[in-house]
Amino acid sequence: MISVLGLDLGRKRIGVAGCDRLGQLATGITTIQRRNFASDVAQLRQICQERGVEKLIVGLPYTLDGQLGSQARQVQHLAEKIGAALNLPVEYMDERLTSFQAEEILKQRRRSPRHHKDLVDQIAAALILQQWLDARSQAAKATLAPADPQL
């Protein structure tokens, strides 16, 4: 399993998530308070070096009807710049409703999403990465399944 980092890129914060060595479980790592591009990349570079990251998985905020809106294009542009600065490939996952799901998870934990925005971003990044891990796992299972059910 290659080492990957999940990112929820926002205007004010970047939620960061990683996964276990088996690539089965994503967890939030940190939330970066955005200051400027150089500072953001420096913090991400440190995390990537510590974890031996080989690929970035970035949430792409499609519109509810599945289109790439202006926000998604902005995220794509930023992700490409970050990937180039870190010399890492970038892969995108649909992040529709992950922030809503993250807020619901916090509410279940009796925490206010309004007062824990950094946790919302971390959880959203973990949800994005988990979605990627699950899709990769399903694809691997489909590849390993015998073509003839009688085998």
> Residue 85 has what pLDDT?
98
C-alpha distance from residue 124 to each of 16, 78, 121 (Å) = 9, 18, 5
Q: Compute the distance between CA of residue 42 and CA of residue 34 in angstroms, rounded to an integer.
A: 11
- What's the confidence (pLDDT) of residue 144? 60
* H helix intervals, 1-148: 37-51, 70-86, 98-108, 117-144
Query: What's the pLDDT score for residue 81?
Result: 98
Q: Which CATH class is domain 4-141?
A: alpha beta
pLDDT per residue rounded down to tens, the chain (151 residues):
789 999 999 999 999 999 998 888 999 999 999 999 999 999 999 999 999 999 999 999 888 888 888 889 999 999 999 999 999 999 999 887 777 777 777 777 776 767 667 788 898 899 999 999 998 877 777 766 566 556 5
Closest CA to 66 of 96, 108, 31: 96
- The type of residue at 28 is G
- Phi, psi (deg, nearest 5) at residue 62: -65, 160
